């Protein structure tokens, strides 16, 4: 599955991008400090700098995924998008 976090425009040369997984009230990192975290290390990757691709998804991947972008040189310095993923 591919989850997209599209950055339309930014003046910050290299905005910080983080992906988090929120499930049952618990938040865990998926992509932090420019690397995959936890069980995503072996089965996920970042495409085009912003899209999260999770391979071999299972029902355990059902959650809300949050993409957070920090762009300190921009007028809006931080923004986020939540994507609800349901694996049948």
CA–CA separation, 42 and 24 (whole Å)? 23
Mean pLDDT of the chain: 91
More confident residue, 14 or 2: 2
Q: Give domain status of residue 74, yes or no.
A: yes
Parent domain of 78? 1-5+12-83
Residue 60: which CATH number?
A: 2.60.40.10
Per-residue pLDDT tens for 21-62? 999 999 999 999 999 999 999 999 999 888 999 999 999 999
Q: What are phi and psi of 39, to 5 degrees?
A: -75, -5
Give how many domains the chain has, as a whole number. 1
Overall pTM surpassing 0.85 (yes/no): yes
Q: Domain for residue 88, yes or no?
A: no
What is the structure's pLDDT at 72? 81
Cα(37)–Cα(3) distance, integer angstroms: 16
Q: How confident is the model at residue 12 (pLDDT cuts 50, 70, 90)?
A: confident
pLDDT of the residue at 13: 79
């Amino acid at each position: 599955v591919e989850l997209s976090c599209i950055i339309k425009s930014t003046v910050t040369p290299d905005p910080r991008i983080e992906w988090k997984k929120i499930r049952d009230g618990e938040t865990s990192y998926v992509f932090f400090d420019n690397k995959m975290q936890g069980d995503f290390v072996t089965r996920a990757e970042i495409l085009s700098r912003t899209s999260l691709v999770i391979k071999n998804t299972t029902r355990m991947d059902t959650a809300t995924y949050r993409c957070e972008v920090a762009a300190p040189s921009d007028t809006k310095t931080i923004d986020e998008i939540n994507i609800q993923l349901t694996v049948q």
